[in-house]
Structures are given as structure tokens and as C-alpha cells.
Structure 1
Amino acid sequence: MSLPEQLLLSDLLRGRVRCQAGIDHGPGVMAWMHPPVHRLLGWISKPSAFGDRRQAWRLDQLRGLVELEALVQGQGSDTDSATTERLPTLIEAAVLDRRGEPIGTLADAAVELSSGRILHYLVSRSDPRLPGSSRWRLSPDRIVDQQPGQVSTGLSGLDDLPLARASVRQEFLRRSRRWRDQVQEETSRLRDQFQQAGDRFEERLEGWLEDPDPEPFDDRYRDSEPRRPRPSEPPSEAWDDWDGLDGWQDDPNEPPPPPAGRRRRQAPDDEDDPWI
């Protein structure tokens, strides 16, 4: 059975230890590690729910993980709870920032199974036992000092670390921050476009004002149809021939009289004839 190259410590401690003889040696309870060099040596199991008997297993005894069971080869080393509690470990240690303020807890570790080297730790902001909480990746080279129960870093906050697993709240905050950045970028782009359009309009307006002989505005937009005279304007010659239409609409059956300019001279009456 092949093993993965990397393994989370929580996955190793979650399974019950079973040897090649099929004997159940209980679940894993804690890690057996060497903190100064950030290396995992093995883990401790609890064979019985009662008593202080414990068993230590080396990491190279692991042969596989099947359905929440850690398959091991060989026999474990018997010990007790008082001895295992004195083993140094960084798991569940408080993480301090550059000001010495706690910002989280070391909840888990990613281990290289071939050498036992801890690739990175997983930091939890809240209680690591809460399901679905976020995890931030902390590499060992960012730890500047370590003491029993706490590690010191040069971080200003957990936001300086890459996010390994996001909770529902953290994922919502991250998406909200991304949407806000996109809205700000779009607003900035539209503002730049409006600014450019305003600059072009000002340049054209200044060009019109500075032109010494601008093209007449009326000639460009003058209507091509003939313009009727206004009441205040004298009638033009085109309307002289239509002065005989006054009163034509009084009798619609009567034909319109001829224009005054084209009216034929009538024969004089007898009374006006000077020869009679």
C-alpha cells in the first residue's frame, strides 16, 4: 500500500492504530516531535480508555491509512501519560505577532513522510477544535523564537500569511473584498473616461472661442424652405398678387377673383363715356 508524500498530522491522529496482527492499539492522542528542527518523530496512541498506559510509534512504522485506521508494522514502545505529557511539542502553542500579542494557535502541521520534516504549520484564529474554522499556512522559517506553549513571529497579523483553508465567514469576507476592489477599478475607469471626454470638450470650446473668423451659425443650420414673413415685417413682392383673396372665403361657391396685378380693365359704362 503506497503512502502519500505529505500528510497532515490531524489525519494521522484521527485514525486508530492497528498492527499487522490485527490488534487495535487505540486512537492517536498526541504528536511525538523534535521542535528545534521542526521534525515529527512519531505519535502516541492510547490503547485503553481507562488507565494511563500509552504506546509510542515511530513514523517509519506507518504502512498505510485505510478508513480512519493507521496500519503499522512492528511493536510500539510502552510508556505512560506522565512521560508523554513532558514531551516537547508545538501543537496547540500560541502564535505571537511582532508586538507579542497572540493572533492564533498552531492547530496542525503538514509532514513529509519520507523524512518527518514539517513543511508548514496551520494556524487557527479561534479554537482549533471548532469544525470549519479557517487555517493559515505558517512556514518554520517565519518563526523567530519558540518556547513551551508559544512561538514568536515577525508578523503584523494573520493576513500576512497565505490562507490554506477558508471558513464560510472568511470566504465571504474575501469575496466581498474582491468585489469591492472590482467596483473600485470600474469606477476609476469610468471616471477617467468622463475626465477625458470633458477635456476634449473644453479643447473644442476653446478652439471655437479663439477662432477670429468663425463660420456663421445661421448659414450652417438655415432651413432650405422659404420663410414666411412675420407680422412685423413688410410684405414682400411675392405676396402682392394675392391681395385679391381677401374675403374669398366668405362664399365658397364663388370662384376667386383674378390677382390685382393681372386684372383686365373693364369697358367703361355709358355714364362714364365722355362722348355721350
Structure 2
Amino acid sequence: MNLPDQILLSDLLHHRVRCDQGLDHGPGVMPWMHPPVHRLLGWVSRPSALRVSRDVWRLDQSRGINEQEVFVKGEPAVSDQITLERLPTLLDADLLDRDGERLGLVADFVFIPTTGKILHYLVSRSDPRLPGSSRWRLTTDRIVDQQPGMVSTALRGLDDLPLVHSSVRQGLIKRSRHWRDQLHKMGDRASDRLEGWLEDPPWEEPVQRSWKSSDMAEMDPLEGWDDQQTDNFSQSTEELRRRRRPDGRGDGQDDPWV
């Protein structure tokens, strides 16, 4: 079982500490750090909820970590909560911009377990204990000055920092901006297409045609009519009339309509 290349402090504190004697020393409660050089020296665990004593572990005592426990070698240093609260830390410190205005607070950090070097801090705009709150990455080179409970930067706002993960509200804002941009692009494309239609119409103008007498002759429906067909039709009609009775009724033998 090995240690990862880097780990989040909150993940370490969520693990219970088990020593090489097989004893459970409880969950982690706070870090032991050296803020001037941005280094984690160790962490503190709480063996029992009924005891006021705390176990302090050096980082080099850690030997491995799994999903629930971190394994250590050796014995811890025993202290109390009042003494440990005096240890310097940047956790929960206010993050200030270049004008001294508060932007948020330092909620967490990522470090290398073998050396304790802090790679970057995570900043929260609101209470970091709220689930799903947004986190921004603050590297150590962006810190101008640090004092107990305060970290000064030259930032203009949290938007100058990369967003690590967003809350539900922040995600909705980002998606809304994306949808607005998409609708704006669709509107621009539709306007460009409409302008193109108006400038270059795809239809052709109707051709005005002047009619001549020769054209009318070409469209004469009686052209090519056979006069002999007219004579034959007249003879057939006369034959039908002779076959009808004096009272106007036919005998019905050769009448095609009976």
C-alpha cells in the first residue's frame, strides 16, 4: 500500500488513523502546517469524543492510505485542543483582493504526502461547510502577503482564478451564459442569411411577353380540324332523327340510349 502523488487535505482528515499496533486513533480533525513556506508538517486526530486529548502525527509517519483509513508507524504526540488552536494556519483565512476587499476564504489545499509541499489552495466564496459550494484554485505565487487569519493577493476578483468545481447555482449561471451565446450566434446566422436572400434573390423576374397575331394562331384550338369529321357527325345525327316515331319516341331497337 502506497501513498498517492498528491492528496486533498479534507480527504486525509476524513480518514481514520490506524497505527502499526492495530489501534484506531480516530478521524483527523485539523492540519499541522508551516504557512511561511506553504508546507504541511502533520495532522491531528481525535481518539475519542469523550476525551479532550488529541493525537498529533508527523507526516513522515504515514505509510499508506485506503478508502477509509490512513496507516501510520510509531506513536503520536499527545496534546489538547486549546494548545493546538494556537498553531498557525491559513485554513479559514480571509482572502483579500488588491484593494483589501474580502473575496472569500481559504477552505482546503492540495499537498504532496511525501514532502508536505502545498501545491495550491482552494478558495470558497461562502461557507466551505456547505455541500456543493464552488472552489477556485489559488497557487502560492498569487499570494502577496499572509498574516494570521488573512491572505492578501493582487486579484481583482475570483474570476481571475481557475474554477475547480462549481456549485449548482454556478453551474446554472454557466449553462445560461452558454445558451444565451448559442441563441445569439443562431440569431446572427439567421440575420446574415436573410440579408443574403434580400441582396441576391434566388428567384427570376417574370419575362414580359408581347403577344402577336402569329402567336394567337399557334394557340388556335380549331387548327388542324378535319371538315370531313364534321360532315360525318351531321349525317349520323340525321339518321337518328329518321328512326324516331312521329310521337317523338324511338322504337328502341337501334337507340343506343335504351
Q: How many residues align?
A: 224
Instruction: For 2:50 and 2:43, locate their aligned partners in 1 and report how far apart those are by CA, in whole Å.
Output: 19
Instruction: For 2:210 and 2:75, locate their aligned partners in 1 and report how far apart those are by CA, in whole Å.
Output: 104
Instruction: For 1:146 and 1:102, locate their aligned partners in 2 and report how far apart those are by CA, in whole Å.
Output: 14
| Equivalent residue number for residue 254 of structure 2 | none
What SS does the corresponding residue of 2:216 show, helix, strand or coil? Answer: coil
User: Which of structures 1 and 2 has the bigger CA Rg?
Assistant: 1
| Equivalent residue number for residue 47 of structure 1 | 47
Q: Conserved in 1, the CA contact under 8 Å of 2:47 and 2:54?
A: yes
| Equivalent residue number for residue 209 of structure 2 | 219
**1:99 positional shift:** 2.2
| Equivalent residue number for residue 79 of structure 1 | 79
Assess, with a 3 A threshold, how the Cα gap between structure 1 residues 221 and 165 changes in structure 2: closer, same or farther: farther
| Equivalent residue number for residue 221 of structure 2 | none
| Equivalent residue number for residue 26 of structure 2 | 26
**1:68 positional shift:** 2.1
Unaligned runs of 5+ in 2: 218-236, 239-258
Assess, with a 3 A threshold, how the Cα gap between structure 1 residues 2 and 220 changes in structure 2: closer, same or farther: farther
Assess, with a 3 A threshold, how the Cα gap between structure 1 residues 220 and 63 changes in structure 2: closer, same or farther: farther
| Equivalent residue number for residue 70 of structure 1 | 70
| Equivalent residue number for residue 183 of structure 2 | 183
Assess, with a 3 A threshold, how the Cα gap between structure 1 residues 2 and 218 changes in structure 2: closer, same or farther: same
Deviations 1:211-244 (A, max 9, x none): xxxxx9523899x9639xxxxxxxxxxxxxxxxx
What SS does the corresponding residue of 1:71 show, helix, strand or coil? Answer: strand
What SS does the corresponding residue of 2:28 show, helix, strand or coil? Answer: strand
Unaligned runs of 5+ in 1: 202-207, 209-215, 228-252, 255-276
1:112 and 2:109 aligned = no
TM-score (norm. length: structure 2): 0.76
Deviations 1:97-133 (A, max 9, x none): 2222212111111111222111111111111111121
Assess, with a 3 A threshold, how the Cα gap between structure 1 residues 225 and 21 changes in structure 2: closer, same or farther: farther
Q: Percent identity?
A: 58
TM-score (norm. length: structure 1): 0.71
**1:63 positional shift:** 1.6
Q: Conserved in 1, the CA contact under 8 Å of 2:2 and 2:65?
A: no
| Equivalent residue number for residue 102 of structure 2 | 102
What SS does the corresponding residue of 1:60 show, helix, strand or coil? Answer: helix
